[in-house]
Amino acid sequence: MSTPTVSTGPLRRVPVQGRSVARVQRMLDACAELVDEVGYEGLTTTLLAERAEVAIGSVYQFFPDKRAIVQALALRNMDAYLQSLSDRFASETFTHWWDAVDAAIDGYIHMHRSVPGFRTLHFGDVVDLHLLDSDRDNNAVIAERLAELLVEQFQLIDRARLRFALQISVEAADALIKLAFRRDPAGDESVLVEAKALIREYLHRHVDA
């Protein structure tokens, strides 16, 4: 198993030694647990230090504030999500590329069900719609990265229409999946099924691959 990486974006100082990397990972794990328990507004650096079992000075050694910690967590989640998709695309054979979009939706649902903090934070929307990238909103970043994976894996023509359709699909899927988890903590299966059907039909009608 590879050593987890830490995005350098929101970090005040990049951890180099193994112990420092592990300490930052503990802080992010603690952040994930706490946002599920108390929400972003209830999160404090003091609570985080206590949960991660680190000195408060260690928190500020790497992060300027709680927003930066949540940003690092959102980036870690994005990297994990995209890596899982890349691995699945490489290991499975899909009849059509929009079957891979189904897989991407499944991966997003799985993150909601299995990754601490994800149901609360998603990719950072609760904090800032531009948490992943100051120039684009969070869903636009995900759609762009998904387009890159699809173009690379399925030799699609990289065109503006495809990227626009994927951005619409990501927005629609995100809204419906959030609805499913508001209706049922485990995700309302009837809503999730409709979300996938809606996205598949939209892509089938609006994008020629």
Give mean pLDDT, residues 31-54: 95
Give residue-wise pLDDT tens across range 18-30.
787 888 999 999 9
Give residue-wise pLDDT tens across range 116-134.
999 898 888 777 777 788 8
Question: Is 50 exceeded by the pLDDT of residue 190?
Answer: yes
Predicted TM-score (pTM) of the model is 0.83
Residue 17's pLDDT is 64
Structural domains in the chain plus CATH codes = 18-206 (1.10.357.10)
Alpha-carbon dihedral angle through residues 166, 167, 172, 173, given to the nearest 10 degrees:
60
Alpha-carbon dihedral angle through residues 29, 32, 37, 43, given to the nearest 10 degrees:
100
Question: Sign of torsion, CA 179 34 117 67?
Answer: positive
